[in-house]
Chain A
Amino acid sequence: MEIILFYAFAVLAIGSALLLVNLKNIARALFLFFIVLFAMAGLYLFALADFVAITQIMVYVGGVLILMLFAFMLSNKELLKDLKDSSGTFLSMPRWQAIVLSLGFLILMIFGIREWQQSPPTWIQQARENNTEIISTDNNIQQIGLRFMTFYVLPFEVISVFLMMALIGASHLSRKERDR
């Protein structure tokens, strides 16, 4: 049952991602992007990362995707026409670069599969022997919170300062200019 679900999510993610890049209709493409993100969240669940899965839905679907849709609906049609024939813009790449990129990823993945041992890594085995293994019914959120405030406190603070900067910048940009 779980394997069927896993492959269903995987096929959904890959299939809609493929469809997404081939679609001319941007509105539909954005909604397909939602399906890709949702299927990805489903795949995270199989890695016992339920917190990451929910964060994925919360941040990407509830935030980023809605913002993208808003930007798309508020932009005029002339702008979208430029996007449609993308051969001239700076975002598009000539074919050979794309081939180099995808070949690079393929090599990386083949290397990863060759290096992958069938048995779980030593630190997981150690945790199993010491009975400190985290299973799916454990309270992962408490672990995450503890880790954030102890081991990873510096990255955590850096990210929060960064977000603060983004917030101040956004409110500064959207502020009305005073009459001189």
Chain B
Amino acid sequence: MIDTILHILVPIAIFTFIAAFTLFAVYAERKIAGFVQDRLGPMETGKYGSLQTIADILKLLQKELITPSLADKILFRIAPVIIFVAVFTGFAVIPWAKDFIPANTHTGLFFIMAIISIDALGILMAGWGSNNKYSLLGSMRAIAQMVSYEIPVGLSLITVVMLTQTLNLNEIAIGQGILTNGSIKFLGFWEVNEIGGFFAWNIFQAPHLIVTYIIFFIATLAECNRAPFDIPEAESELVGGFHTEYGGIQFAFIFLAEYAMMFLVSMLGVVLFLGGWNTPLPNIGAIRLADWTTGLAWGIFWTLAKSLFIVGIQMWIRWTLPRLRADQLMSLCWKVLTPLAFVCMAISAIWRILIIA
């Protein structure tokens, strides 16, 4: 009985968190955009415009649900739900702190990869169901991009998994801090089990993982359809991309899914490369900084802080770099990222055989 209640409570908690995060992130995004473009951003509603996103969501919730008369009504209605649920389900297997994870499965990472691919289907559903050429074009672009960029993402994940030897995200996170049972070696030679901190993170355990993380970061930006890879929703060419016809709460759900996806891939990157919930502070002799800052509350704090930092970088990039053309986008994926990811994978295999084992 308690299990069942927990199974209901945990998704509600995560949903509440995603909703709150989206409200906060939209505000942050507009403020960062304002900062980058040398203006103030939202200032009218509340102190420094802090109530702006709450006002926005209240407006969206009150709006009438309009379905275009020639749209495929069933697909049009279902699409936002599928898009959101696909991303939302991904949160089920990501750890927040040691053993503080909604579903501790051995297939965690594989599950996330599979479930995110359903997102593409929802986008195609939305584009086709709207019966609008801009929507269809937008969704076709989005799918072409997501399917292509899934390859560098998958390869960079394999690169990490080759070293960690597990798909369980909880165990991957444990293996990057002072709580591990195995041995951790900074750059492959200096044992740092006692010291912990950022020395024990995956990207510092094997230096080629730094390259892999950059590949992963760029490819996941494209997976989220964020700038500079936002041709699927290029406002100047396609009105609004695949969600042109959506309004009200349906649009809110698509928007929620986009921000949830941003947070999901940031969190995934943090767990795989940046130590997950492990503290960045090392033990220095008698000053046990790592021991002091490890625990349930600290774990949640570090996960949140690192993920929000990565989300911040995503926003910074969005407002700094111009949009890539479709052919540039594809050649970046197939001619730069994919071969590089393959090279990293090969290095990982050699590293595993020669240095770890």
Contacts and interface: CB of A to CB of B under 8 A. Distances in A.
A28 B77 CA distance: 13
Interface string A131-143: 0000000111100
A69 B123 CA distance: 12
Contact of B121 (A27, A54, A61, A73): A61
A31 B118 CA distance: 11
Nearest to B112: A54
A137 to B, nearest CB: 8
Contacts, number: 66
A166 to B, nearest CB: 16
B281 to A, nearest CB: 32
Contact of A141 (B106, B113, B140, B143): B106
B72 A62 contact: no
Contact of B120 (A25, A27, A62): A62
B118 A66 contact: no
B140 A61 contact: no
Contacts of A90: none
A58 B117 contact: yes
Interface in A97-148: 138-141
A28 B140 CA distance: 17
B107 A50 contact: yes
A66 B114 contact: no
Contacts of A54: 107, 110-111, 114
B114 A58 contact: yes
Contact of B106 (A25, A27, A28, A139): A139
- In terms of DSSP, what is the predominant structure of the interface of chain B? helix
A65 interface: yes
Interface centre among B74, B106, B150 (most CB of A within 10 A): B106
Contacts of B4: 1
Nearest to A138: B106
Nearest to B115: A57
A54 B121 CA distance: 16
For this complex, into which size category does the number of interface residues on chain B fall?
A: 20 to 34
Interface residues of A, number: 24
Interface string A1-19: 1000000000000000000
A34 B114 CA distance: 13
B187 interface: no
B6 interface: no
B128 interface: yes
A31 B168 CA distance: 31
Contact of A66 (B105, B110, B121): B121
A61 B86 CA distance: 12
Given A27-B128, A31-B75, A62 B150 contact: yes
A51 interface: yes
Contact of B167 (A25, A62, A141): A141
Given A31-B125, A62-B150, A140 B106 contact: yes
A162 interface: no
Contacts of B115: 57
A96 interface: no
A28 B117 contact: no
Which residue of A31, A61, A65 has the most chain B CB atoms within 10 A of its CB atom?
A31
Contacts of B168: 139
B117 A62 contact: yes
B124 A28 contact: no
A66 B72 CA distance: 19
Contacts of A151: none
Interface in A25-79: 25, 27-28, 31, 34, 50-51, 54-55, 57-58, 61-63, 65-66, 69-70, 73
Interface of A: 1, 25, 27-28, 31, 34, 50-51, 54-55, 57-58, 61-63, 65-66, 69-70, 73, 138-141
25 contacts: A1-B4, A28-B74, A28-B75, A50-B105, A50-B106, A50-B107, A54-B114, A57-B115, A57-B117, A58-B110, A58-B117, A61-B117, A61-B121, A62-B114, A62-B150, A65-B121, A66-B121, A66-B147, A69-B121, A73-B128, A73-B140, A138-B106, A141-B106, A141-B110, A141-B167
The 8 A-B pairs at the shortest CB distance, nearest first, are namely A62-B117, A58-B114, A57-B114, A139-B106, A54-B114, A54-B110, A54-B111, A50-B107
